[in-house]
Amino acid sequence: MVINNNFTNILAIDFLDLDIISSMIQDCIVLRENITYLSKQRAFILLVNRFKWEEKDKCHRIYSIIRFQGVLRVKTKNLIMHNENLPLELLAINYHTTESGVMHIFLNFSGGAIIDLEVECVECVLKDLSEPWKTNIIPDHNLGNL
């Protein structure tokens, strides 16, 4: 992980690395129009507005890109595709390898929407693109009330 001048640039090459990225992208906001699959390049890209959990005491958000390489196939579940301006909240990245060795990376959104990436390997980059800005809203899942 590289953090330089408020910018994060992380490369995940295994599932443990992907867990770190998942923790940093929790509560990202992404518009459907900012999700792209480039099948010829085997790349899946999201432009997100993420809360900087690594600096929670500063309450900042920042524009970031999340790019997955080696993507063979993309499937969606419960994702409304016809409204490109619909804001989605990315909650976590999970993964699973089938008995036959096929790897899947799951992007889990609030409301039960899932994007399933079938990948040939784990290669994910999280890169900040803008200066961070102050926000007054800290994501809260009311977990203390359970």
The whole domain housing 77 covers 2-132
Q: Is residue 140 part of a domain?
A: no
Q: Is residue 106 part of a domain?
A: yes
Q: Is residue 93 part of a domain?
A: yes
Q: Is residue 143 part of a domain?
A: no
Q: Is residue 146 part of a domain?
A: no
Closest CA to 34 of 95, 105, 86, 94: 86
Number of structural domains, the chain?
Answer: 1
* pTM to 2 decimal places: 0.87
What is the chain's pLDDT, residue by residue, as a tens digit (146 residues)?
Answer: 444 556 788 999 999 999 999 999 999 999 999 999 999 999 999 999 999 988 877 889 999 999 999 999 999 999 876 666 778 999 999 999 999 999 999 999 998 999 999 999 999 999 999 999 998 877 876 555 54
Ordered alpha helix ranges (H), the chain: 15-25
Q: Is residue 102 part of a domain?
A: yes
Structure token pair of residue 19: 């867990």
Q: Is residue 101 part of a domain?
A: yes
Pairwise CA distance, residues 70 & 8, whole Å: 22
Q: Is residue 144 part of a domain?
A: no
User: 3-class SS at 98?
Assistant: coil
